Amino acid sequence: MRVERTRNVISHVVLMFGVVVSIFPFYWMVVMASNTTPDIFSYPPRLVIGSHLFENMGKVLDNIDFFGSMLITIIVSLAVTVLVLFFDSLAAFAFAKYEFPGRNWLFGLLLATFMIPAQLSLVPQFVTLAEFGWIGSLKALIIPGAANAFGIFWMRQYARGAIPDELISAAKVDGAGFFRQYLTVGLPVLRPGLAFLGIFTFINVWNDYLWPLIVMTDPNKLPLQVALQQLNGIYGTDYSVVMAGALMSVIPLIGVFIIGGRHFIADIAAGAMKF
Amino acid sequence: MAVTTLPETASAAQDQVPQKPPNKYRLALPQYAAISPFFILFAVFGAFPVLFSIWISFHSWDGIGSMKWVGLEQYSYLLGDPQFWQSIGNTLIIWVLSTVPMLLLALVIANALHNATRFRSFYRIAYFIPNVTSVVAVTMVFGSIFSNNFGLLNAFLQSIGLTKIEWLTQPWGIKIAIATIVTWRWVGYNAIIFLAGLQAISNDVYEAAKVDGASSRQTFWRITVPLLRPVILFTAVTSTIGGLQIFTESQVLVGDTGGPGGSGLTIVSYLYQSAFLDNQFGYGAAIGWALFILIVLFSIINWRLIGGGDERISRRAARRNGKETADAR
Amino acid sequence: MALSRRKFLALGAGAGAAAATGLSGCGSVSSLGASNELSMWTWVGSVNDDLIGHAEKAIPGHENMHLAMTRIGTNYKTKVMTALAGKSLVPDIVAINDDVATYFPNQDQFHDLNELGAKDHEADFLPWKWKLGITPENKMMAYPMDTGPTALFYRTDVFQKAGIDIDPAAVAELAPTWDAYIELGKKLKAAVPGSAITDNITGIYSYALAQQSKRYMTQDGQYIGDQDHIRTAFDLAIRVVKEGLSANAQSGTTDANAVVTNGKLVAYNAAVWWAQLGPKNAAPKTKGLWRVTTAPGGAGNRGGSFLAITKYCKNPEAAFAFISWLEAANNQAQAFLDPVLFPSTPASYTDSKMTAPDPFFGGQKIVDVFAASAKGYPGAYFSPYDSIINTPIAAELVNVEVAGKSPDQAWADAQRQVHRELTRVGAI
């Protein structure tokens, strides 16, 4: 028993230490954002939260169109999430619960698309979008990512386990066609899976950097991450302002995550186990 | 179990006029429609770009004017380009520096989480937050911590009497800084995956091991780790693929060209620089293909090293069994 | 079954139509900015803010339009090229730096200014500057903005310590050639140890090259960068270093400014814009101690920018009206005051804004020296590949200075790398 207790205590000590390491950068971000740069540069550096947060946030707003950029990111993240949820769940539903000619072959093809790294398409996709006239517009950020293989794969696993065949048969007997079955049977049952995929997609689109950096060529219409790096480029070592900007950009997501995070984490683990 | 879409052929009366069986493709139209958005998008934004990029890589092109055919010139330049090889070296070093500690720490944390009985949710959320934060913001924070003159780390070193280290201008300093950011971001994520793996191992195995008199170290290395192999493989492969594709941490920390001496230049950084800063689309395409080959290569290596161990285990077990029976005789 | 199929077909048709409109890109604008705006991109410090402010209210001659200026902080050329490659939201007017020739392969992206009436203004400009904006296909792609005439900057206090007459005319006579200049440098170093006549090796190379009438390629695409005129400049730079007259402060490092501040750099053959970047910015305390005179080796030019109108421009006539107004002689004279852009219109040189004595240079009328250099510069052909060729050569020079590499090895390696680069882009 005592061995168990000690092991428990040691575990907690280790874990708490890890929590401190995980959380410390955020604390440090707040410290820097709320002090003035000379304070941060002094030796020894100030380690406590200061009182200049609003002043620094004001400087951020003066230098980049912060809320404009945040709006762009919100729009893009929401649009992609909605599209992904719709297209992926629809495809997953079809793959999971229906037999049709070529199904396995097509699903295999879908899995094969995992092999292609995104960087391979950076240059040609830029050229393609230039031909469409989409460079610099939000379409370039939304459309190419509107359906992805990972989402379909994951939702299919989920759908297979979660949707009972009887429900579908019952709907068919009631005269429902495929789409009606999807709406009345599939969607409601898939809702928790949709929640996970939705949060996962939203976070990834929100944090995306390289592709927006390349295609958003209008310096006045930048998504949040790119605008943040611009701030870093302009302000460089004026850490208090740069960190204020970073803090402002990070808070919305952390808020979302703290609220909805528990299920999200469980599902990530579950998904990994299925491999 | 799947539901078929072919209509149940009710027992047709013998004297009914034989009908043509409904075309199975036509009947599956709704399913095809359901999966078509993905495949259409993939065709336009996935498959076509890949083929197009091969074509581009045989040309010299600034993306604006006409493409100039140069055959394999981009690739031959690539093979002799010291910056390219440097970027590969940097990427691999950063990958090792980040993946090894990250997996070990993740195992440790997962183990601790497994043993800890309370606050589980709190821990999981706390460990996961680094992964959901924007890489740009995180890199900026770490940039200030590692800063040569004003960084927290150097202040700490000074306070205990050591000299400052020029993290952001020394080749190894830069790599360690980038590796630290990557490790910090992914330990929690991988710990949680390992935890799920640990939780999937039934207690019976541990009971049996205890009965056999196995020490906790033996249990860990001989039982737990082999049983975790699939999970370890999963995290190793995803870490490898992710590690080879690092860009943001490098570009935000030390700039487009990888800092002094290009020590922080990763493969994707070099691709970005060549294609979108030097406007050499053909060269960028060629670098993309080199990256792809690397990813395939390393995935195979990972698979062989970690995944192909099952035969080794059973062979070793068979040998041991044979030895025991031989001893018993 | 039939009902749902019809519904699904309707859905599919609707989705297809939506996709088609999306794909056709209709609704997206190729030119940046609203229809009454002329969008312009330039880098920080390249134009006079007052003049721009005036144009932001209304374009002279086209009062219904106004300028929408965006000052790009970093990676200017990249952003322009990427915007052109992206074919969307392209600015109407772009500034171009002295690498204007690198845009020539893409001249079809810009308007031929001759078609907009540029020829009427030709007589107002320095001939060699005007020519630089004209492509080998005889299209006027870029309109002259400012120039970068070179001269010899020197610290009178250090010269006095070495017992040298500080009068500009006397100094010019003392060092008319690079050889004589090196001797002068040795004398300065003897009197004030640690003195340098260049910040680093490439400073000598670039400014020696800036005086030549030939550069790296001929008009018909022959590579001449391995010939004597380049080798001479190459060896000259190495010689200055070997004589210990370089401050070894490589470009892009903080050292580069430091050697001006701490007085190590006592004389420098440099372009007019160095006055602002160098002494005025890094060593304000030396006000009054500097003078300028004719550079050893004669007139030269390094730097200078241009303006071009992209083919996406909504109103090329208005854009040209703006450009020609901005670069009229009186306005160029104003730009000399802020931010120190040396005009490409000789008429400006007699404008009172320019002829005022400069207190930083002890009251010297520096316009005289630079105007003579600007007018005397022979002009040279810049090829689209000049930047690609220059980079390895400069890099090898740095290797000689910083890593002690053998000059012959450096030259051979530079030429080999140039060859690889040119092959890769299909130039040779």
Tell me the domain boundaries of chain B: 76-132+185-310
Q: Which two tokens stand for residue C294?
A: 């004719």
* Cα separation, C301 vs C129, whole angstroms: 10
**Is C106 touching B (CB cutoff 8 A)?**
yes
Supply the pTM of this predicted model: 0.82
Instruction: Assess whether pLDDT exceeds 70 at residue C224.
Output: yes
* Cα separation, B211 vs C172, whole angstroms: 98
For residue C325, CA distances in Å to C113, C207, C314 come to 14, 31, 18
CB within 8 Å: A130 and C72 = no
**pLDDT band at residue A114, thresholds of 50, 70 and 90?**
confident
Residue A35 three-state SS: coil
Instruction: Assess whether pLDDT exceeds 50 at residue C6.
Output: no
Q: CA of C90: which chain A residue's CA is closest?
A: A218
- The domain tally of chain A equals 1
CB within 8 Å: C22 and A220 = no
CB within 8 Å: C426 and B60 = yes
Residue A194: which CATH number?
A: 1.10.3720.10
From the CA of B199, how many Å to the nearest CA of chain C? 45
pLDDT of residue A226: 93
* Predicted confidence (pLDDT) per residue in A209-252, tens digit: 999 999 998 888 899 999 998 888 777 767 888 889 999 988 88
From the CA of B318, how many Å to the nearest CA of chain A? 27
CB within 8 Å: C25 and A134 = yes
Instruction: Assess whether pLDDT exceeds 80 at residue A44.
Output: no
Q: CA of C104: which chain B residue's CA is closest?
A: B65
**Is B77 touching C (CB cutoff 8 A)?**
yes
Nearest to A122 by CA among B274, B75, B70: B274
Nearest to C343 by CA among C119, C129, C57, C177: C129
Rounded mean pLDDT of C203-219?
94
Q: CA of C252: which chain B residue's CA is closest?
A: B260
CB-closest option in C4, C73, C79 to A234: C73
What lies within 8 Å, CB to CB, of C205 at 6+ separation is: C233, C234, C236, C237, C393, C394, C397
pLDDT of residue A3: 67
pLDDT of residue B257: 82
Find the largest Cα–Cα distance for chain B: 101
From the CA of A173, how many Å to the nearest CA of chain B? 12
Instruction: Assess whether pLDDT exceeds 90 at residue C243.
Output: yes
Residue with tokens 């609220």: A259
CB within 8 Å: A217 and C82 = yes
From the CA of A193, how many Å to the nearest CA of chain B? 18
* Cα separation, C261 vs A240, whole angstroms: 29
| Beta bridge mates, B300 | none
Rounded mean pLDDT of A127-143?
92
Instruction: Spell out the CATH class of C37-147+303-355.
Output: alpha beta
Secondary-structure percent of chain C, ordered helix, strand, coil, rounded to 5: 50, 15, 35
pLDDT of residue C28: 46
pLDDT of residue C126: 95
Does C427 or A259 have the greater pLDDT score? C427
* Cα separation, C288 vs C171, whole angstroms: 17
**Is C105 touching B (CB cutoff 8 A)?**
yes
CB within 8 Å: A8 and B196 = no
Instruction: Say if CB A24 and CB B133 are below 8 A apart.
Output: no
* Predicted confidence (pLDDT) per residue in C125-170, tens digit: 999 999 999 998 999 999 999 999 999 999 999 999 999 999 999 9
**pLDDT band at residue B9, thresholds of 50, 70 and 90?**
very low
* Residue A112 located in a structural domain: yes
pLDDT of residue A102: 86
CB-facing half-sphere around the CA of C21: CA atoms within 13 A? 6
Q: Which two tokens stand for residue C57?
A: 């209210």
Instruction: Say if CB B127 and CB B188 are below 8 A apart.
Output: yes
Range of the structural domain that residue A112 is part of: 64-235
pLDDT of residue B237: 84
pLDDT of residue C1: 39
pLDDT of residue C42: 94
Rounded mean pLDDT of C349-375?
92
pLDDT of residue C4: 43
Domain C157-301+379-424 grouped into CATH 3.40.50.150: no
Burial A224-245 (b: 16+ CB within 10 A, else e): bbbbbbbbbeebeebbbbbbbb
Instruction: Assess whether pLDDT exceeds 50 at residue A113.
Output: yes
Does A256 or A142 have the greater pLDDT score? A142
Of the given ranges (A39-48, C29-38, C352-361), which has the lowest mean pLDDT?
A39-48
* Predicted confidence (pLDDT) per residue in B157-185, tens digit: 888 888 888 888 888 999 999 999 999 99
CB within 8 Å: C25 and A132 = yes
Rounded mean pLDDT of A192-201?
87
Q: CA of B124: which chain A residue's CA is closest?
A: A265
pLDDT of residue A274: 60
Mean pLDDT, chain C, whole residue set? 89
Contacts with A, B 67-106, CB within 8 Å: 105
CB-closest option in A115, A225, A243 to B141: A243
Domain B76-132+185-310 grouped into CATH 1.10.3720.10: yes
Nearest to B272 by CA among A134, A122, A218: A122
CB within 8 Å: B63 and A127 = yes
Instruction: Assess whether pLDDT exceeds 70 at residue C351.
Output: yes
Instruction: Assess whether pLDDT exceeds 50 at residue C21.
Output: no
For residue C134, CA distances in Å to A209, C108, C112, C308, C375 come to 39, 13, 9, 11, 19
CB-closest option in A148, A232, A268 to B140: A232
**Is A111 touching B (CB cutoff 8 A)?**
no
Chains that touch C (3 or more CB pairs under 8 A): A, B
* Predicted confidence (pLDDT) per residue in B220-261, tens digit: 778 888 888 888 888 888 888 889 999 999 999 888 888 887
pLDDT of residue A165: 85
Rounded mean pLDDT of A106-113?
88
CB-closest option in C4, C30, C79 to A178: C4
From the CA of B18, how many Å to the nearest CA of chain A? 24
Q: CA of B64: which chain C residue's CA is closest?
A: C85
Q: Which residues of chain A are within 8 Å of residue C30 when distances are taken between CB atoms?
A: 133
For residue B87, CA distances in Å to B258, B264, B270 come to 9, 8, 7
pLDDT of residue B322: 57
CB-facing half-sphere around the CA of C213: CA atoms within 13 A? 5
* Predicted confidence (pLDDT) per residue in A63-72, tens digit: 888 999 999 9
CB within 8 Å: B64 and C106 = yes
Q: Which two tokens stand for residue B189?
A: 């994520």
* Predicted confidence (pLDDT) per residue in B302-322, tens digit: 888 876 555 555 555 556 555
Instruction: Say if CB C361 and CB C73 are below 8 A apart.
Output: no
Instruction: Say if CB C29 and CB B54 are below 8 A apart.
Output: no
**Is C82 touching A (CB cutoff 8 A)?**
yes
Termini Cα distance of chain B: 51
Q: Tell me if C37-147+303-355 shares its fold with C157-301+379-424.
A: yes
Q: CA of A180: which chain C residue's CA is closest?
A: C4
Mean pLDDT, chain B, whole residue set? 83
Does B33 or A38 have the greater pLDDT score? B33
* Residue A176 located in a structural domain: yes
Q: Which residues of chain A are within 8 Å of residue C77 when distances are taken between CB atoms?
A: none
* Cα separation, B195 vs C367, whole angstroms: 75
Instruction: Assess whether pLDDT exceeds 60 at residue B99.
Output: yes
Burial A39-67 (b: 16+ CB within 10 A, else e): bbbeeebbeeebebbeebbebbeeebebe
**Is C85 touching B (CB cutoff 8 A)?**
yes
**pLDDT band at residue C205, thresholds of 50, 70 and 90?**
very high
* Residue A12 located in a structural domain: no
Instruction: Assess whether pLDDT exceeds 70 at residue B97.
Output: yes
Q: What DSSP element (H or E) covers B69?
A: strand B68-69
CB within 8 Å: A273 and B196 = yes
pLDDT of residue B19: 65
Q: What DSSP element (H or E) covers C223?
A: none
Q: Which residues of chain B are within 8 Å of residue C24 when distances are taken between CB atoms?
A: none
Chains that touch A (3 or more CB pairs under 8 A): B, C
* Residue A273 located in a structural domain: no
Percentage of chain A surpassing pLDDT 90?
A: 31
Instruction: Assess whether pLDDT exceeds 50 at residue C230.
Output: yes
**pLDDT band at residue B29, thresholds of 50, 70 and 90?**
confident
* Cα separation, C243 vs B116, whole angstroms: 72
Residue C383 DSSP label: P
pLDDT of residue B18: 63
Instruction: Assess whether pLDDT exceeds 80 at residue C187.
Output: yes
What lies within 8 Å, CB to CB, of A136 at 6+ separation is: A215, A216, A217, A218, A221, C83, C86, C88, C89
Instruction: Say if CB A228 and CB B136 are below 8 A apart.
Output: yes
Mean pLDDT, chain A, whole residue set? 86
Residue B320 three-state SS: helix
**Is A234 touching C (CB cutoff 8 A)?**
yes
Q: CA of C86: which chain A residue's CA is closest?
A: A130
Helices (H), chain A: 2-33, 37-41, 53-63, 66-97, 103-112, 122-132, 139-142, 149-162, 165-173, 178-181, 187-207, 210-215, 224-235, 239-274
* Cα separation, A73 vs A66, whole angstroms: 11
Helices A66-97 and A239-274 sit at what angle, rounded to 10 degrees?
0
Sort B15 into a burial class: Cβ within 10 Å, 0-12 / 13-18 / 19+.
exposed
